[in-house]
Amino acid sequence: MEIRHLHYLSEIVRHNSFTKAAEALHITQPTISKMIKNLENELNFEVFDRDGKQVKLTAEGKAIYDYAIPILELFEQLQAEINDLAYLNKGSIRIGLPPMAGSSFFPSVIKSFQDKYPGIAMKLIEDGAKKIEEQVRNGLLDVGVVLEPIDTEAFDSFPVIEDRLRVILHPSHPLAGNAQIGLSQLAQERFILFNTDFALHDRIINECRMIGFNPLIVYESSQWDFIGEMVAENLGIAMLPDRICQLLDPAKVTTAALIEPSIPWRLAMVWKRTGYLSLATREWIAFNRQRFANEKGRLD
C-alpha cells in the first residue's frame, strides 16, 4: 500500500465518483480504476462495492478510509515542513494588523524582519481586530494582532503592547486643557468611534453602559487619522490609545487621560493552537516575541 493509494481512495470518496476524482487528480479514469484494483488485489478484499451506480465503500474500505484521512494530513504537514527547512528564504506569511498597530510600531518591526529574511514574502492585511481574529481562526491568516482578551482555547498568543485610551477634543471644547476626564463627564457628548469591525468599538460602548449611559455615536470610521481629523473639525469627541494620540497634530486637537474608568488597550499576537505553522510563520512569531520582550524590558 502506498500513499498515492490512500490519496486516490480519499478523492474518490470526496467526489463520489471515479471519473470526477480522476479529473481532479489529472489522470485518466482507467488509471485510477487500475490503481484501486491493484490495492484490492494486494489486500485481498474489495474496497468499493461495485453493485449499482453509486460509489460506496465496503466495511473494509471504510476502515482504510478512516485511517487514510489523518495519514494524508500528516503526510502533507511533513512535506510542508521539509519544504520549509529547505526553502525558508522562499516562504510566505499572511499577517493581520489593526490600522493603529500597522501605522504606529509595526513598520520598523517588519523592516527588521525583512532585513534578516529578505526572501520571505509578507502579505499584510489591515483590518479591525475582530475580523483579524476571525480570519486567523478560519485559516485565512497565519498570524494576527488583536485586542485582548484572547480566546485561549482557540489561540496561542503573547502580549505585544499595553496602552491606555485618551480622550481627544477640539481645542475649543469646555474640557480642553483638563489633564484627566472621567467617562461620566462625556455622557452628553457626540462620539466618533471605530466601526463595528473593531473590538475597541464594543469596548467603549460597554464601558459607557456600565456607568449608566448609552453614547451618542455620530460617526464611525476604520482609520484613526480620519477620526482625529473629524475631531479637529469639532464634529465630536473620540478616544484613542496614548501612543496614537502622540501622532495627532496638537495644533488641531487636545487630549486628556481617560479615568473612572480608564480603558486599557492591550494588543497580543495570536495564531491557532492547532494545525501546522510554516517555518516562516514560526520565525516571525519568535522574532516578534523577542523584539517586544526586549522593548518591555527597556520600559520596565
CATH number at residue 135: 3.40.190.10
Strands 180-182 and 92-97, by their bridges, are: unpaired
Q: Is 199 found in the same domain as 261?
A: yes
Q: Which residues of 56-72 are buried (b: 16+ CB within 10 A; e: fewer)?
A: ebeeebeebbeebeeee
Q: Is 55 found in the same domain as 179?
A: no
Residue 123: enclosing H or E segment and its boundaries?
strand 121-126
Q: Is 199 found in the same domain as 239?
A: yes
Number of independent structural domains in the chain: 3
Over residues 129-141, mean pLDDT = 91
| Residue 16, domain CATH | 1.10.10.10
**Which residues constitute the domain of residue 193?**
163-265
Q: Is 71 a residue whose pLDDT tops 70?
A: yes
pTM above 0.85, yes or no: no
Strand partners, 269: 145, 158
- Reported as a pLDDT band with limits 50, 70 and 90, residue 249 is very high
Q: What's the Cα-to-Cα distance from 39 to each of 24, 30, 35, 205, rounded to whole Å?
A: 20, 14, 6, 62
Q: Is 112 found in the same domain as 102?
A: yes
Q: Is 281 found in the same domain as 156?
A: yes
Least confident segment among 90-104, 120-134, 170-184, 223-237: 90-104
Q: Is 284 a residue whose pLDDT tops 90?
A: yes
Q: Is 204 a residue whose pLDDT tops 60?
A: yes
Q: Is 281 found in the same domain as 201?
A: no
